[in-house]
């Protein structure tokens, strides 16, 4: 069975981008959508993010073969519960959350009889809302699927096909491992960005506004990351608590060692660290993951 009808619950950056990408790349699929915010529903309808913006979650999912929950991870359980009464038998439920173990548990609790294929498209920008979506968001990005052992292989294949149809590369990963990997590559970097920008804000009076006036490239990058949606990131840190705390503990140890090297004038240790970490950047470039813009800034797509 090929999927012909998809419902999107949550019409912000990710949900809106999925709707636009489906319209552009898989136009044979019929789309419906719903958002808890009436103003978001109005704006989503004006932009045509999905074929039909519905007035209730029941209306959005009643004929769907696939439902994608595109809400903050802390709201996944409630979103799943909101569709429980109208979800058609045999429909697949997926999501886009950046923490997977807790989200999968929340959806399974709300929808114990549903076929659930958790997913995480590793894509996004610091912008949010229905105006932020664009169809190229997932092109050449990774989408990680985290099914459990009981998930039907056919359902996993169908979700993989959808994401590949939107231009993404698909990887299958165990949920706890996904959460640890994303804590390193995404969650802790965001936490650091929020912290350093907060510190700079506290120092604004001390420096007479010069922190912002003379912002260098590194600080500008931090402010871009720290501009991300606060509700989403609050929920990420709370739902991926264990993995974040594990990686944060390791980071704190490494930061203490770096502090000691600076205090002791240990230039060799500093140079060795900087040389080793520079290779990470080179590896990211070699993997083609080196640009935050849509489609990594490529102009040939």
Query: Using one digit for the tens of pLDDT, what is the confidence trace for 199-236?
Result: 877 776 666 667 767 766 677 778 878 888 888 889 99
Residue tagged 């949010």 (tokens):
128
Contacts of 45 (CB under 8 A, 6+ apart): 53
Helix axes 175-182, 241-263, angle to 10 degrees: 30
Residue 92 to residue 89: CA distance in whole angstroms? 9
In degrees, rounded to 5, the angle at the alpha carbon of residue 209 between the alpha carbons of residues 203 and 210 is: 95
Helix (H) or strand (E) holding 95, with range, is: strand 92-95
Cβ atoms of residues 143 and 121 within 8 Å: yes
Task: Identify the pLDDT of residue 282.
Answer: 72
Start-to-end C-alpha separation, the chain: 30
Section 134-146 average pLDDT: 95
Cβ atoms of residues 133 and 19 within 8 Å: yes
61-115 pLDDT per residue, tens: 999 999 999 999 999 999 999 999 999 999 999 999 999 999 999 999 999 999 9
Task: Identify the pLDDT of residue 4.
Answer: 96
Q: Is the pLDDT of residue 23 over 70?
A: yes
274-296 pLDDT per residue, tens: 888 878 777 766 665 555 444 33
Confidence class for position 152, pLDDT limits 50, 70, 90: very high
Section 157-165 average pLDDT: 97
Residue tagged 């996904």 (tokens):
178
């Amino acid at each position: 069975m090929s999927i012909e009808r998809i419902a999107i619950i949550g019409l912000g950056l990710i949900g809106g981008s999925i709707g636009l990408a489906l319209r552009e790349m898989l136009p044979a699929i019929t789309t419906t959508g719903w958002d808890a915010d009436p103003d978001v529903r109005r704006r989503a309808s004006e932009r045509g993010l999905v074929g039909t913006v519905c007035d209730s979650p029941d209306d959005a999912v009643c004929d769907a073969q696939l439902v994608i929950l595109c809400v903050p991870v802390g709201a996944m359980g409630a979103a799943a519960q909101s569709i429980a009464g109208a979800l058609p038998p045999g429909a697949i439920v997926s999501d886009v959350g950046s923490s997977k173990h807790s989200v999968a548990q929340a959806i399974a609790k709300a929808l114990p009889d549903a076929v659930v294929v958790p997913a995480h498209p590793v894509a996004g920008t610091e912008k949010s809302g229905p105006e932020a979506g664009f169809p190229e968001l997932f092109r050449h990005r990774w989408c990680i699927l985290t099914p459990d052992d009981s998930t039907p292989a056919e359902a996993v294949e169908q979700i993989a096909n959808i994401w590949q149809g939107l231009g993404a590369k698909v990887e299958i990963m165990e949920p706890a491992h996904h959460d640890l990997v994303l804590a390193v590559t995404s969650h802790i970097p965001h936490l650091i960005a929020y912290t350093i920008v907060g510190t700079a804000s506290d120092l604004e009076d001390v420096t007479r506004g010069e922190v912002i006036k003379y912002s260098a490239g590194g600080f500008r990058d931090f402010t871009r990351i720290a501009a991300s949606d606060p509700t989403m990131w609050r929920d990420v840190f709370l739902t991926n608590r264990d993995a974040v705390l594990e990686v944060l503990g390791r980071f704190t140890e490494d930061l203490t060692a770096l502090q000691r090297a600076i205090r002791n004038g240990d230039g060799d240790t500093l140079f060795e660290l900087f040389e080793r970490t520079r290779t990470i950047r080179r590896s990211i470039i070699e993997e083609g993951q080196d640009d935050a813009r849509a489609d990594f800034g490529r102009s040939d797509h």
